[in-house]
Structure 1
Amino acid sequence: MKGVMVQGTSSDSGKSFIATALCRIFSDMGYNVCPFKSQNMSNNSYVTADGLEMGRAQGVQAEAARVEPQAFMNPILLKPRKDVSSEIVLMGKVYDAPCDKNYYKDFTMSKGIETVREALSIIDKNFDLMVCEGAGSPAEINLNAGEIANMRVAREADIPVILVTDVDRGGSLASVVGTLELLGEDRKRVKGIIFNKFRGDISLFQDAVEWTEKHTGVKVVGVMPWLTDIIIEGEDILSLNWNSGSGDCAEKLRVGVVKFPRVSNHTDIEAFRFEPDVEIVELSSPSQLARLDAVVLPGTKSTVLDMKYLIDSGLAEGIRRFYANGGTVYGLCGGYQMMGEKIDDAHLRDNDKIPEIEGLGLLPAVTTFGEEKTVIRRRGRAIHPYFTEETPVDGYEIHFGITRPTGGDTKFAPLFELDGRQDGLADAELRAAGSYLHNAFHNDLFRAAWLNALRKRRGLPEREPVSTSASKEAAYDALAAHARKNLDIDYIVKIAGVK
């Protein structure tokens, strides 16, 4: 195959960032380029147009490559659910066996590698080249016999590897040398090294570049600077910068986001980073609530256990008081389930320990967990009386559990109509609201209306909607420009085999 694989000396080395840049660069050159990651472990997922599930990072890379995200771009997605196992999503659908201690022995070298080969065949037939991303580190020698995410994939596709290392963490030279030493015969497949996240004057790093090339015999393709002004959705919670805003403003809205121990789909919050007057605050203590304008409860891989976290930390009672004193609270998916009166997990589908737990009681609703999983793209509009103008929305649902309104309180109304069905609930002022719709805040008109409600309560002027699509395109272009400036793109194109 034609293409290149981006591997890292560690998790969060910047593999996804570099792969995204290369996808945009190859697309700008006129190539039909496909992003690929054989196996991903993440609760931050993307739903395709045909209702299949894949890793969020490959969805972002497909956007950068200007192609439609499809499940074969990430054929194996592992979603940690309970403490001892993960759900396997195979070619976009839930597989009928869990990922447990026998995963590498029983699955990867049978059904797993077969699925990877199927995906690679589809890509080879339909695209000019592939930008492939590895997982974690290729030097985990205890997993080499059964791994299907790094060098095994490079061998199957017969593509060269570029190794990315994180300078900011320190120890990058040792990480590069140590990784290459542990690769054995696969070392010869590594055709380039990228030092990523460098702060300061890059010229000061030139001695390290020269030493690396002399000591390893591998070309250093470039040194990428630490980029603080480019917003690209992150794959992992390790990459998430909760506190960034996109500009300076004298009067900022402070939105506290609960960073659950089991947070998932945290990219629901990313759209706020394009708003110049919004500051995102990681919320972990009740003492922080007094300085906030709103609280967002994001998704979670275990609603019950993270609801227990809210109770045990004092945040649950703090959020109730925050709302009673005029604050605004919004729940996304699992966060929406927590906002109800009760969560029923009698069959222990969501967790292993707790069959029932009380919710925050901010919405008149009860959630019950069953065996059925909902994974679907949704499109519709806001129907709550608060919205006096047409407000279209789209997004996706990924959840277990059904949330049913208990009725009896006329101040609450459904929030959305999605594909002909009602979803979510909100009070009259939109101060308590929630829905299963992921990416709700990526809808510019809805996000602007919600934020303008906060601004009005603070006595601040309303603002026009910010275009997230335009902002994301500008970010992809800016990232590609930095890569062209700091990396030897001609060399990458050459080893990818397309010139």
Structure 2
Amino acid sequence: MIQGTTSDAGKSMLVTALCRWLARQQIRVAPFKPQNMALNSAVTIDGGEIGRAQAVQAYAAGLVPHTDMNPVLLKPSTDKNAQVIIHGQAIATMDASGFHDYKSIARTAVLASHARLATQYDRIIVEGAGSPAEINLRANDIANMGFAEAVDCPVILIADIDRGGVFAHLAGTLALLSESECARIKGFVINRFRGDISLLQPGLDWLEAYTGKPVLGVLPYFQGLHLEAEDALPHNPEPIMADASDRLQVVVPVLPRISNHTDFDPLRLHPRVDLHFIGPNQALPPADLIILPGSKNVRADLAWLRKQGWEVAIRRHLRYGGKLIGICGGFQMLGKWIHDPKGLEGDAGSAHGLAFFEMDTTLYPEKQLGNVCGTLAHQGAAMTGYEIHHGVTVFQKTYSPAVHLAQRTEGALSADGQIMGCYLHGLFESADACRALLHWAGLTDHPPAPDYQAIRNAAINCLADGVEQHLDTNRLYQLLNLQGMAP
């Protein structure tokens, strides 16, 4: 099990790297995260929903994602409430105290999933959540040491040196664990180091002497690697040294409950696109394309968008000939009404939409989940995607569809060709669809879109190489009980 001293210490990255490293050696390995809190999710082969990081880890292991890889997923809809997803299916919205009371049931689901994976795979690489030293979350823990103790799992603790205080993070975490938990930690990994490793060595020697535990390795700061984020928004990429007029300007408003922002990773990687995430108290800059992203609380996020003055900016953008795409929750915002009669995303009620399409959306408890493939209606380009939503949208007027799927059409394209919306995530991951959409938005005579899958695969391979080059693989073999494979 990989646990971290903080969020974003590198847990997801290291699990991904270890899954690929082991898969290369023909070890049947599966990723597992008992409990995840994230708004980036993926649809599994068994028709459920898991954290997107676990889907990437499955890919690294050469597997198709399954709900057992992340049996408990929490998707915050407000600052105090989250939708609880068990074995891929939404079962309720709870506050923190409600979920605390529910943990005994969630624990049963976690252990059942782990047991099923253990019968199918040679090894399981487990990812913790946040930090094991969160004192207020220790009771009935199923995400970190509570799980590790339940299944008798050795733990590696990873810390991020780039943010500073790495030795305090590691030593302080140990100080806050129980004796049995502390004994369970078998070594440390230091992440995101840049510089002369010899200058770090005295600190490593001190850490080993002070804790009695080995440093299993120091991973470098991998520059330029793309790995889909578990939840946190990425930083804008480094500026490309070229005339900005050669690139399409794309703006994504960052809603408070933005979900599946990994939709825009292919645009961040495109050499002819400048993608800008615009946050609170920022004006929407001039752009060729504005994309309204998915949301876990559409009515509240729409009200917040209006409070920022962005509705006025969007209408001005359209008057000047700009293009607009709404994805999932962003698509729902494009209609006349959004109804949530059962309060699935907040208080029960209705809200006026932006009314760019003559359509109403009603949220129902049954979530629509699925992986799809089809073609863009206006360009015929092949695309793949996935849908994760509670809404059912009904049109009062006939529009050209946005996408043709095998058995149905999806979404809508406005009569003037400026506005497109649909429920499908992942629109830009297919190179043909990405090229067609960017051409529609105004990017002409551009090279083929980057091969997103190849970029992700290369990054995962680089991380696995990092395990081989920078970690003590003999100790890893021992922890995994694979000593017979040691060189």
TM range (shorter): over 0.9
Query: Are 1:39 and 2:23 an aligned pair?
Result: no
Once the two structures are superposed, what CA deviation does each residue of 1:302-355 show, in whole Å capped at 9, x if it has no partner?
0000000110000111011111111111111001111223323344333227x2
Once the two structures are superposed, what CA deviation does each residue of 1:35-67 show, in whole Å capped at 9, x if it has no partner?
000011112111012211111111010001111
Give the fraction of aligned pairs with identical amino acids, expressed as a percent: 37
> Please, which of 307, 310, 315 is the counterpart of residue 310 of structure 2?
315
Match of 1:406 in 2: 396
What letter matches 1:337 in structure 2? Answer: Q
Cα separation, 1, equivalents of 2:287 and 2:351: 27
The verdict on how the C-alpha distance between 1:285 and 1:126 changes in structure 2, with shifts beyond 3 A counting, is closer
Once the two structures are superposed, what CA deviation does each residue of 1:444-483 show, in whole Å capped at 9, x if it has no partner?
2111111123344xxx523223221212111111122223
Contact 2:85 2:92 in 1 (8 A): no
The verdict on how the C-alpha distance between 1:203 and 1:359 changes in structure 2, with shifts beyond 3 A counting, is farther
Query: Are 1:88 and 2:81 an aligned pair?
Result: no
Match of 1:391 in 2: 381
> Please, which of 433, 449, 463 is the counterpart of residue 465 of structure 1?
449
Contact 1:245 1:276 in 2 (8 A): no
Cα separation, 2, equivalents of 1:220 and 1:328: 52
Match of 1:445 in 2: 432
Q: How far off is 1:486 after superposition?
A: 2.0
Match of 1:241 in 2: 234
Contact 1:246 1:275 in 2 (8 A): no
> Please, which of 272, 275, 278 is the counterpart of residue 273 of structure 2?
278
> 1:425-440 counterparts in 2 under 5 A?
425-427=412-414, 430-440=417-427
What letter matches 2:267 in structure 1? Answer: F
> Please, which of 126, 138, 152 is the counterpart of residue 132 of structure 1?
126
Unaligned stretches of 5+ residues in structure 2:
none
Larger mean CA deviation between 66-75 and 438-447 belongs to 438-447
What letter matches 1:472 in structure 2? Answer: R
- Corresponding residue SS for 2:135: coil
Contact 1:380 1:418 in 2 (8 A): yes
Cα separation, 2, equivalents of 1:23 and 1:304: 39
What letter matches 1:469 in structure 2? Answer: Q
> Please, which of 226, 244, 263 is the counterpart of residue 231 of structure 1?
226
Match of 1:174 in 2: 168
What letter matches 1:313 in structure 2? Answer: Q
Cα separation, 2, equivalents of 1:245 and 1:68: 33
Match of 1:211 in 2: 206
Match of 1:424 in 2: 411
Contact 1:363 1:433 in 2 (8 A): no
- Corresponding residue SS for 2:437: helix
The verdict on how the C-alpha distance between 1:246 and 1:159 changes in structure 2, with shifts beyond 3 A counting, is farther
- Corresponding residue SS for 2:447: coil
What letter matches 1:75 in structure 2? Answer: P
What letter matches 2:203 in structure 1? Answer: A
Cα separation, 1, equivalents of 2:93 and 2:226: 36
Larger mean CA deviation between 10-19 and 414-423 belongs to 414-423
The verdict on how the C-alpha distance between 1:297 and 1:20 changes in structure 2, with shifts beyond 3 A counting, is same
Contact 2:82 2:93 in 1 (8 A): no
What letter matches 1:52 in structure 2? Answer: G
The verdict on how the C-alpha distance between 1:488 and 1:430 changes in structure 2, with shifts beyond 3 A counting, is farther
Q: How far off is 1:428 after superposition?
A: 5.2
Cα separation, 1, equivalents of 2:416 and 2:461: 39
Contact 2:18 2:125 in 1 (8 A): yes
- Number of equivalent positions: 480
Contact 1:381 1:391 in 2 (8 A): yes
- Corresponding residue SS for 1:101: helix
What TM-score, normalized by structure 2, do the two folds share? 0.93
Once the two structures are superposed, what CA deviation does each residue of 1:67-118 show, in whole Å capped at 9, x if it has no partner?
11110011111111244322211111122573541322x3222x22211221
Cα separation, 1, equivalents of 2:300 and 2:280: 17
Once the two structures are superposed, what CA deviation does each residue of 1:180-230 show, in whole Å capped at 9, x if it has no partner?
011112101111111112233333222221111111111111222222310
